[in-house]
Homo-oligomer: A and B are copies of this chain.
Amino acid sequence: MDIAYLGPVASFTHSAAQYAFPDENLVPLGAIPDAIMAIQKGEVDAAVVPIENTIEGGVNITLDYLFHFADVPIQAEIVLPIAQHVMVHPKNEAVWKSAQKVLSHPQGLAQCAKFLQDHLYGVEQIATPSTAYAAKWIKEHPDELAAAISPEMAATEYGLHVVQNNAQDIELNQTRFAVLSRKELKLSLPADEEKTSISVILPNNLPGALHKVLSAFAWRDIDLSKIESRPLKTSLGEYFFLIDLYSSKKTELVQNALSEIALLGGETKVLGTYHVFRILTSNGEE
């Protein structure tokens, strides 16, 4: 099978994809929309994209693409520990504290906000499409006095020197990755809880609409693990909601709740029913 992931080689998503698909052909793509559209158009058999991080929260572009452009279900969620390291070209190892720019994915920059404030204050921050892209850029620009925030695996892949381990602001930093596929997948990892992800547009002009939608789940004892609002991008104050439900042994109850929300005028879409797979040590840490 061909598995698209947010590349380049040695990204955190690459690690997640390796755990999920150790024996398949992994295809790095340059941006999250590219990976989602590759599976949407059927060019690959599955796609792996980051969906939420402990520190920085939901990955907006993933959430927005899943809602607006994709109808391929989430078949699995991979949870990976994330360690961010500061790395430079070997020739700049001694002078890294004078770096004139620091590159990473906006999530990597945000996860290390306190470190950057303390150690690289005022240094120009350049947002890259992924953390590993930043490492690759450093390799390709040896004459730039620049640092990347990137996984350990990327330092190895691109021959960089790590000058600061674990620069993320908190120790227990994790990222959730969604595996999208039209096929049901059997991963050879121990499975944790089952969840169902849905999106909901609330009925217009129904006071307390969100409360009513949550009531449909609450009185059926369907617990939420997450709720997030995102703008509909129409006008300020118009949102859709992404809700993760613990759905194990509640398939019919979830279906009934969704039917009733539709009767009230809400629009729902099931993004997938899937198991969570937790990785205890990331590649980046080995």
A-to-B contact residues, CB < 8 Å: 52-57, 60-61, 79, 106, 109-110, 113, 124-127, 169-170, 172, 174, 176, 207-208, 210-212, 214-215, 217-218, 221, 223-231, 233-237, 239
The answer to whether B172 and A57 have CB atoms under 8 Å apart is no
In the docked arrangement, what's the CA distance between A226 and B235, Å? Answer: 13
The answer to whether B226 and A227 have CB atoms under 8 Å apart is no
Q: Which residues of B contact A211 (CB under 8 A)?
A: 211, 214-215, 217-218
In the docked arrangement, what's the CA distance between A176 and B235, Å? Answer: 12
The answer to whether B226 and A237 have CB atoms under 8 Å apart is yes
Chain B, residue nearest A55 (CB)? B233
Q: Which residues of B contact A52 (CB under 8 A)?
A: 231, 236
Q: A54-B236, A228-B228 are in contact. List 7 more A-B contacts (CB 8 A).
A: A54-B234, A57-B229, A61-B113, A169-B233, A211-B214, A214-B214, A226-B239
Q: Do most interface residues of chain A lie in helix, strand or loop, or is the interface mixed? A: mixed
Q: Report copies per complex.
A: 2
In the docked arrangement, what's the CA distance between A282 and B110, Å? Answer: 30
In the docked arrangement, what's the CA distance between A165 and B207, Å? Answer: 38
The answer to whether A60 and B56 have CB atoms under 8 Å apart is yes
The answer to whether A60 and B170 have CB atoms under 8 Å apart is no
The answer to whether B57 and A235 have CB atoms under 8 Å apart is no
Q: Which residues of B contact A113 (CB under 8 A)?
A: 61
Select A229's contact among B79, B169, B228, beta carbons within 8 Å: B228
> Shortest CB–CB separation between residue A25 and chain B, in angstroms?
24
> Shortest CB–CB separation between residue A209 and chain B, in angstroms?
9
The answer to whether B229 and A227 have CB atoms under 8 Å apart is yes
